[in-house]
Amino acid sequence: MNKRNLEAKRIVIKIGTSSLLYQNTSQLNLRAIERLAFVLSDLKNQGKEVVLVSSGAIGVGMGKLGLTKRPETIPAQQAMASVGQGELLGIYEREFQNYGKSVAQMLLTRDVLVYPQSKKNVFNAFQELLKLNVIPIVNENDTVSVDELDHKTKFGDNDQLSAVVADLIDADLLIMLSDIDGFYSSNPLTDPNAELYHTVTSIDSTIIQSAGGRGTKFGTGGMVTKLKAAKRILSNNQKMVLANGENPRIIYNILAGEPVGTLFAPEQTVTKEGLV
């Protein structure tokens, strides 16, 4: 299989809750965060612009308060997010400081990306932070927004938020790190014949419906939300790679063009650049 042409200067990296927490203890996977900080700091040293979209606030809050079951009510989920967000950012700050890098928290809600003026303000903030060589760390503001939580008017989640951010800042590539190696023809945990798709150029309702349900007890995502994010990326003629984030060093492999994970790219781009 040929190498992919994934030259990218401005990169959005999304890491899921399942990659940040130990599922058996509900506690933070400090080694994963340390590795992530190392890789992203190294990318900054290479001259790349990096934005991190990080899930995990509710999961971290649960772990800090000793809960093993995700709360069912909206206020309880908001409380978990409030407890966990500060804890999570503090750890990120300490890890990135080890490599001389500054981070900035950006908590977004749906409305700021809907109204033109506030959307422009968010864009300007991203631009200024990147100009200052700062790594923005983005999350949904779960404490005041119920759109991402278990709500009938659910806007999305951090999978889709990462695609929105990639569109907003005109990123060259979105790298989505999860607990699965990529997009399969069926659930690889239950179907030994499941096949990994190396490249996807279009997403229809049939593919989304076959993707299964939600993710872990700590997060809001699942394969469906990742495909919806990929659909947004494709509609904007951008590229996205879905890969296993157990070891964040896989980002090096992705940027080197190695055929790991699943590449979502417009068909004309695949044909023209020979991405696979």
For range 100-109, the mean pLDDT: 94
Q: Taking 80 as the threshold, does the pLDDT of residue 99 lie above it?
A: yes
* Domains in the chain: ranges and CATH: 10-273 (3.40.1160.10)
What is the Cα–Cα distance from 54 to 34, expressed in whole angstroms?
A: 14
| Residue positions forming the annotated binding site for ATP | 14, 178-179, 220-226
Report the 3 state secondary structure along 122-157: HHHHHHHHHHCCCEEEEEECCCCCCCCCCCCCCCCC
Please state the separation of Cα 271 from the chain's center in Å: 27
Given a cut of 50, is residue 112 above it in pLDDT?
A: yes
Q: Which of 14-18, 25-29, 37-41 has the highest mean pLDDT?
A: 37-41
What pTM, to 2 d.p., does this model score? 0.89
Lowest-confidence segment of 89-103, 164-178, 209-223 by average pLDDT: 209-223
Q: What is the pLDDT of residue 212?
A: 63
pLDDT at 143 over 70: no
pLDDT tens, position by position, 161-199: 999 999 999 999 999 999 889 999 888 888 888 889 999
According to the per-residue pLDDT averaged within each range, which of 74-78, 80-84, 230-234 is highest?
230-234
Assess contact for 91 and 21: CB atoms under 8 A: no
Binding residues: 14, 55, 142, 158, 178-179, 220-226
For the cut 60, the answer to whether the pLDDT of residue 214 exceeds it is no
Residue positions forming the annotated binding site for substrate: 55, 142, 158
What is the Cα–Cα distance from 265 to 267, expressed in whole angstroms?
6
247-268: burial string, b at 16+ Cβ within 10 Å, e else: ebebbeebbeeebbbbbbbbee
